[in-house]
Amino acid sequence: METPNAPNPEAAAPPSAAAELNRRLGGLLGRIAAGDQAAFAEFYQLTSRRVYGMARRVLIDAELSEDTTQEVFLQVWQNASKFNAAAGSPLAWLMTISHRRAVDKVRSSQSASDREARYGATSQEIDHDSVSDEVGSRLEAEAVVRCLDTLTDTQQESVRLAYYGGLTYREVAEKLNAAVPTIKSRIRDGLIRLKTCLGVS
């Protein structure tokens, strides 16, 4: 499968264009479910940049993002018949799969002991690794995006760098020109807010 070009995840199509794209993708999914390889190739051409862009934002690493993109489209080929138009648009379905795949890649790339070593000793008030485990296991793409938006800009940036970018507390602190205790506090407070927003008990 051809590696997609550099993504442009910020580009948003006008509503009419988005509706037309979803109509087109819905038709292609029906044909893909019947084993139509030409429909699959067209579906890939229309959506691969978006999928790669989602993976790249989560994983940062280009090679891992390409691998994840391949896995997403393999899942589309195998599970096109499971798409339910009543539950959402084809593009939303695809982006949910993409986000889950990317986050699964992050989670599988490091063991619990690695996470503990990377992020240091946990706070007495809250074990942020256990919170991230709970959040990760319950996340839905749209819910996470919505809940991330409830964080302050500094919390959101710190959480993204630590948990999606794979940086240590010290690396996050250096990148944001802040003290390590400040970064730890931002991440802890941000994860508490994510936990509350996502309804993780």
Task: Give the model confidence (pLDDT) of 91-101 as tens digits.
Answer: 999 999 999 98
Task: Give the model confidence (pLDDT) of 96-126 as tens digits.
Answer: 999 998 888 877 765 443 544 454 544 434 4
Selection from 6-20, 76-90, 160-174 with the highest mean pLDDT:
76-90
Q: What is the mean pLDDT of residues 178-197?
A: 82
Does residue 5 lie within any of the structural domains?
no
Does residue 101 lie within any of the structural domains?
yes
Is residue 26 packed enough to be buried (19+ CB in 10 Å), middle (13-18) or exposed (0-12)?
A: middle
Task: Tell whether 104 and 19 lie within a shared domain.
Answer: yes
Does residue 181 lie within any of the structural domains?
yes
Task: Tell whether 144 and 166 lie within a shared domain.
Answer: yes
Task: Tell whether 99 and 126 lie within a shared domain.
Answer: no
Q: Number of folded domains in the chain?
A: 2
**What confidence score (pLDDT) does residue 78 get?**
92
Task: Tell whether 91 and 154 lie within a shared domain.
Answer: no
Does residue 4 lie within any of the structural domains?
no
**What confidence score (pLDDT) does residue 74 get?**
92
Does residue 19 lie within any of the structural domains?
yes
pLDDT at residue 140 tops 60 = no
80 or 147, which is more confident: 80
DSSP for the chain, please give it.
-PPPPPP-TT----HHHHHHHHHHHHHHHHHHHTT-HHHHHHHHHHHHHHHHHHHHHHH--HHHHHHHHHHHHHHHHHHGGG--GGG--HHHHHHHHHHHHHHHHHHHTS-HHHHHHHH-SPPSS--HHHHHHHHHHH--HHHHHHHHTTS-HHHHHHHIIIIIS---HHHHHHHHT--HHHHHHHHHHHHHHHHHHHT--
Does residue 2 lie within any of the structural domains?
no
Distance CA 119, CA 168 (A): 5
Domain with 59, as residue range(s), is 15-108
**What confidence score (pLDDT) does residue 72 get?**
92
Confidence of residue 47 (pLDDT cuts 50, 70, 90): very high
For the whole model, what pTM was predicted?
Answer: 0.50
**What confidence score (pLDDT) does residue 104 get?**
84
Q: Are 85 and 26 in contact (CB under 8 A)?
A: yes
Residue that finishes a domain, picked among 62, 89, 108: 108
Distance CA 67, CA 52 (A): 9
137 or 170, which is more confident: 170
Residue that finishes a domain, picked among 85, 108, 131: 108
How high does pLDDT run on average in the chain? 76
Task: Tell whether 120 and 169 lie within a shared domain.
Answer: yes
